[in-house]
Amino acid sequence: MAPLTAFVLAMALPAVASAFGQDFYVGFASRILIMAMLATSLNLLVGLGGMVSLGHAAFFGAGAYVVGILATEWRGVGNYALLAWPLAMALSAALALIIGAISLRTRGVYFIMITLAFAQMLFYVALSLKAYGGDDGMSLSQRSSLPGLDLAIDSHFYYVVLALSAAVFMLYQRLCAARFGRVLLGIKDNEARMESLGYPVYRYKLAAFVIAGAVAGLAGALMANQNSYVSPNMMHWEQSGVALVMVILGGLGNIWGGLAGAAAFLIIEEALSAFTKHWAIGVGAILLAVVFFAPRGIAGLWTAKR
């Protein structure tokens, strides 16, 4: 029931924030939820399937660019969320299919390196897109449009993000407990044995990679809207690293790991950056503490589930 309580509290956030005149926190909460979706999609790969990808931001950035490019090239219709967001997911899924099909032939450190290399390739592709701002990125003149809502209003946008992220968390939870999640856990534990039991391991890993890519693409599309800005940095390997840190901080393989990690990371960043620009040191210290004292992550502190 805890998730339901949290959901109800999250529903109340815009009203509370506005009552205290702290509307900033609505946008902040949207950012947390969007990063939580990104981290959760990465958790599917790392925590469940044991695939440590250091290029996950590629799909995040690709989703963002779909929104940005559509809005620029196709004024009006290109702005429709119901068109742009699914397209962002589709493009990211397609990229994940290609990148995954090649990367998943390797394992361990090689997999880390090859996913990193692919992501950096896409990063440089984005840098070279002069028509779309090159290394400056591009500002979006308006948010995507949804019938019946005005996403320019932060609380409206927040509710949409909340609904979508809740859907992602629920899907992830179902997937973990279903056959597919079992197979991924088995692959993480003992890949060779899975193969000899008759599981076509490569196909399962690729399917997970594509699902994770699609969700990362959706997160990217939402982040483009949240910031009204798209830039190559969204697919830089640092961004992939941040997502990975969030997963480890929050809890590898834990259903709420992505959310806990994203929230912890962004709150620490927000709190410490008021005092110092070296806030990353604080994140590092807390990450160390989590790794040593709570190896199952923040979410692992109060859920026994893995």
Partner 1 sequence: MNLLEIRGMVKRFGGLAATDGVDLDVRQGEIHAVIGPNGAGKTTLIGQVCGTLAPDAGRILFAGVDATRLAPHQRAELGLARSYQITSLFPNFSVIDNVALAVQARSGSSFRFWQPVADERQLADAAQDILDRVGLGDLGQRTAAALSHGEHRQLEMALALATRPRLLLLDEPMAGMGGEESAHMVKLIEDLRGDYSVLLVEHDMDAVFRLADRISVLVAGRIIATGSVAEIRADAEVRLAYLGEDEA
Task: Examine residue 201 and tell whether it contacts partner 1 (CB under 8 A).
Answer: yes
Q: Name which position in 207, 272, 280, 286 contacts partner 1 (CB under 8 A).
A: 207
Q: How far is the CB of 305 from partner 1 (least distance, A)?
A: 12
Task: Examine residue 105 and tell whether it contacts partner 1 (CB under 8 A).
Answer: no
CA distance 88 to 156: 21
Long-range contacts of 115-119 (CB under 8 A, 24+ apart): 115/53, 115/54, 115/55, 115/56, 115/240, 116/54, 116/55, 116/237, 116/240, 117/55, 118/55, 118/58, 119/54, 119/55, 119/56, 119/57, 119/58, 119/235, 119/237, 119/240
Backbone angles phi, psi at 139, to 5 degrees: -90, 145
Task: Examine residue 106 and tell whether it contacts partner 1 (CB under 8 A).
Answer: no
8-state DSSP, 106: S
Q: How far is the CB of 38 from partner 1 (least distance, A)?
A: 20
| Closer residue to partner 1 (CB): 82 or 177 | 177
| Closer residue to partner 1 (CB): 21 or 198 | 198
Can you tell me whether residue 58 is helix, strand or coil? helix
Give CA 89 to chain center in angstroms.
Answer: 12
Task: Examine residue 295 and tell whether it contacts partner 1 (CB under 8 A).
Answer: no
Q: Name which position in 23, 73, 135, 189 contacts partner 1 (CB under 8 A).
A: 189
Nearest partner of 176 among 278, 290, 258, judged by Cα: 258
Q: Which stretch binds partner 1 (CB under 8 A): 35-43, 80-88, 188-196, 233-241?
A: 188-196
Q: Which stretch binds partner 1 (CB under 8 A): 12-20, 147-155, 196-204, 214-222?
A: 196-204
| Closer residue to partner 1 (CB): 177 or 291 | 177
Site for partner 1 in 270-289 (CB under 8 A): none
Nearest partner of 249 among 104, 101, 65, 42, judged by Cα: 42
Residue 276, number of CB atoms within 10 A of its CB: 10
Task: Examine residue 190 and tell whether it contacts partner 1 (CB under 8 A).
Answer: yes
Task: Examine residue 204 and tell whether it contacts partner 1 (CB under 8 A).
Answer: yes
Site for partner 1 in 150-179 (CB under 8 A): 171, 174-175, 177-179
> Which residues here bind partner 1, judged by CB under 8 A?
171, 174-175, 177-183, 185-186, 189-190, 192-201, 204, 207, 306
